[in-house]
Amino acid sequence: MPGFDPIELAKRVGKSVTWIVNGVEQRKYYRFRGGRWYGGIATGDVVGCNLRCKFCWSWRYSYFTNKGQYYSPQVVYMKLSSIAGQKKYRYVRLSGGESTLSRKHLLSLLELFEETSLWFILETNGILIGHDTQYAEELSKYRRLIVRVSFKGTTSEEFEKLTGADKRFYELQFKALENLIDAGLKPGQQVYPAVMLSFSPEENIQKLLERLREIHPLLPNEIDPEYVILYPHVKELLKRYGLRPRIAYTPGGVPDFMI
């Protein structure tokens, strides 16, 4: 049985996690925090996603949309700026779910950060950016933006197995990189791939590297590797789907097992 259509799911989820108030698109968030990633970053964790990754650390909020609170871009900007200022961070981001579902909200937030010294890291699965070249062109206008396209596996078959989405949509993750580079973002500096590698044999990883090299020769050298972190709720999800990573880590960063 083929997987679901993540473009259609994005439309449905987007309606349940956004709310227009006085012409301003608000987005649901479930928390704001500082953290060690990227050497220190202020994070707003959003509710809702258009994939159903079976290893997701935030699945209780990305799968379901009945939690969280709506915030305007201005309030989100103030919260992230405050955390970054207190901690002396250089970076801010949206994480936890798929940030591109709320397009107007995201673009308004990026506009606010344009006048700061902070870098905004957009973590995305890239599906909507790959689907719509205009989205990439809109994002390319922001000079304080870095786009991290997070690949869910190294082949279309892995993508379908890990996310539940139909394997034909895997190509949109590559297309997102192409669209962003064509729009003027510099590979390795303003746009780069991250890849979930916990479930991938070496031969599949090599296939991915070749595909990335076809898009731009710098991309294979700029991969940010992702591995499953075995939080209790992640172990619960893996068990539910009968998945066993080849490589995974404990929350303390210690390799847990290989098969």
Cα separations (Å) of 168 from 135, 184, 188, 207, 223?
20, 26, 26, 17, 22
Q: Where are the domains of the chain?
A: 6-226
Per-residue pLDDT for 244 more than 90?
yes
Is pLDDT above 80 for 259?
A: no
Q: What is the CATH number of domain 6-226?
A: 3.20.20.70
Give the global pTM.
0.94
Residue 251 pLDDT greater than 50, yes or no: yes
Percent of the chain exceeding pLDDT 70 equals: 97
Check if the beta carbon of residue 102 is closer than 8 Å to that of residue 109.
no
Residue 230 pLDDT: 94
- Tell me: pLDDT of 123 over 70: yes
pLDDT tens profile 135-179? 999 999 999 999 999 999 999 999 999 999 999 999 999 999 999
- What pLDDT is stored for residue 257 in this prediction? 44
Q: What is the pLDDT of residues 36-78, one digit of tens each?
A: 999 999 999 999 999 999 999 999 999 999 999 999 999 999 9
